Chains A and B, each alone.
Chain A
Amino acid sequence: MIQVRFHGRGGQGVVTAAELLSVAAFLDGRHAQAFPSFGSERTGAPVMAFCRIGDAPIRTREPVVHPDVLVIQDPTLLHVPGVFAGFEDGTVLLNSSRADVQVPHGHLVTLPASEIAREHLGRPMPGAPMLAAFAAVTGAVSLDAVAAAFRERFHGPVGEGNVAAAQAAFARIEELTRA
């Protein structure tokens, strides 16, 4: 089982990203569970959401305490206490266009997700590119499933814009990995 914790700010689609990761995993034939951290969400306030992906039914209901992957949708959260809580080793996927970022531990992958989204979707919503990066880095879900999950949730140009952003992000990570 792979456990993912999403961090972002209210309005960035953090909960939606976790939900759609679970949908993508489901479309790939896997078991998945996603849920938010249940606050009174306000625009701009730190928000958390969780996703577990496995090959058997998932029974636990506790929040993701020891994430294998941290998805950080807003770079300003890097220094907020608690973001790295319980994270011992694994991958940090960070939405950032900067190259000089460091994390306390784990393998850091950065992606300018907001910029990619702005280019393809017209709005800086990092969810689709971040999930595409997750697919490219972990292989736990396929890019096709991520695209299908966004098309299922967002119809028309918004869905297609998200898919285009996801494809661009996936290609970028693949390129980085090859380099």
Chain B
Amino acid sequence: MLRQIEGSRAVAETVALCRPEVIGAYPISPQTHIVEGLSALVKTGALAPCEYINVESEFAAMSVCIGASAAGARTYTATASQGILYMSEAIYNASGLGLPIVMTVANRALGSPINIWNDHSDAMSQRDSGWVQLYVESNQEALDVHIQAFALAERLSLPVMVCMDGFILTHAFERVDVPAQEQVDAFLPPFAPRQVLDPDAPLSIGAMVGPEAFTEVRYLMHAKQMQALDAIPEIAGEFEAAFGRASGGLVRGYRTEDAETVIVALGSVLGTIEDVVDELRESGERVGALAIRCFRPWPMDEVRAALGAAERVIVLEKAFAVGIGGIVGQNVRLALDGLGVRVHDVIAGLGGRAITAASLHAMLEDGLAGRLGSLTFLDMDWELVARELDRPSGPHAENMLRDLRERVS
């Protein structure tokens, strides 16, 4: 049914339609409305049977999810920012054990400095954790991909993160088509666990493994992720057949066919980018965009196919690896190895800085004129940086905020 509701509400209702049996979660902005919504649905009995476990930390949240999933329950959680760091040890355990947990990451910056706004640093910090990472562009896609995530997780027995931009999507009201329970039931069969802890048939999981087999057990995570490169488009195809709309998949090109310049990005910023692409197309520039919808596993072949004919690729990313630069950019360069395509990393939108069409236009003007370097920070206040670099003492954040206040007054 078409409704105009908040993204978090839509995700909560859709997760409930997927019939999770255990939810273990700890509230943290901007994920809070999702787990509050689910908690209310459990309390009223609208989501049953389901046990909602209000834990004392994110570490406990993922630990509860591991136990529940190992006991054969369809299991869900959500987190963001510092929460994902706090559960990080358990995140690696969940993937090492091959447990099909689905987790929403309401993307938010990592501190320090503490910041509650959106970027992708949190999910990116776990990119090598063995979890599948799917990024969504809109709230409709968030709904659709959560349903697909449960199917994918359980088909391959591996955990899946659905990454949606905190606030920008979680707190946005927009039109969504929330499916009916019967539709979701028909698409998502009951969970048939690959491994179950059962007192009547005792077994142990989580054995210590020495050098004799550690490489092989770890390799299985990689092998299963590589299987996901086939399963993700397969499930997206099944979803489209069942629900009548395309969403999910590995990558999605926008006006890339004859594009000389392609902007690569993840998540909700694609909407703004597409508007800018259309405007540039009208002025005759051959520009396109590529959405990376699945970042882990990395869809090497699809990225190479989509970008291989371009002259230049601009990777716009909401996170960066301190000491080197772009994260997605490194992966894109690997996919384009040997093709001679120039790749530029543009770091944008950190800690909630708005990515505006005006800024994108200015950046692309530089890009089209060949003035873009290999690493650019969009809308960077270089004066503020320079002043602090010259300063011998004091805390950076406090110094720079004081400089900003002085500049205004």
Contacts and interface: CB of A to CB of B under 8 A. Distances in A.
A61 B174 contact: no
Interface string A112-141: 000000000000000000000000000000
A22 B355 contact: no
Contacts of A171: none
Nearest to B269: A61
Interface stretch (B20-28, B271-279, B333-341): B271-279
A81 B268 CA distance: 29
Given A38-B117, A59-B271, A22 B4 contact: yes
Q: Range of interface residues on chain A? A: 20 to 34
B168 A60 contact: no
A84 interface: no
Interface residues of B, number: 29
Interface string B214-229: 0000000000000000
B155 interface: no
Contacts of A167: none
B4 A35 contact: no
Q: Tell me the interface secondary structure of chain B in the complex.
A: mixed
A40 interface: yes
Nearest to A30: B175
B350 to A, nearest CB: 14
A107 B191 CA distance: 60
Contact of B171 (A31, A32, A35, A58): A35
Contact of B355 (A25, A26, A36, A62): A62
B92 interface: no
A22 B174 contact: yes
Interface in A11-69: 18-19, 22-23, 25-27, 31-36, 38, 40, 57-63, 65
A35 B172 contact: yes
Interface string B228-252: 0000000000000000000000000
Contacts of A61: 165, 168, 172, 268-269, 271-272, 355
A32 B174 contact: yes
B356 to A, nearest CB: 5
Given A62-B355, A63-B354, A19 B272 contact: no
Given A19-B6, A32-B175, A60 B271 contact: yes
Contacts of B188: none
B357 interface: yes
Nearest to B359: A62
B116 interface: yes
13 contacts: A19-B173, A26-B4, A26-B175, A32-B175, A34-B173, A38-B116, A38-B118, A59-B271, A59-B272, A61-B165, A61-B172, A61-B268, A81-B408
Given A27-B4, A33-B172, A62-B355, 11 more contacts: A26-B3, A26-B4, A31-B175, A34-B173, A36-B167, A38-B117, A38-B168, A59-B272, A60-B272, A61-B168, A62-B354
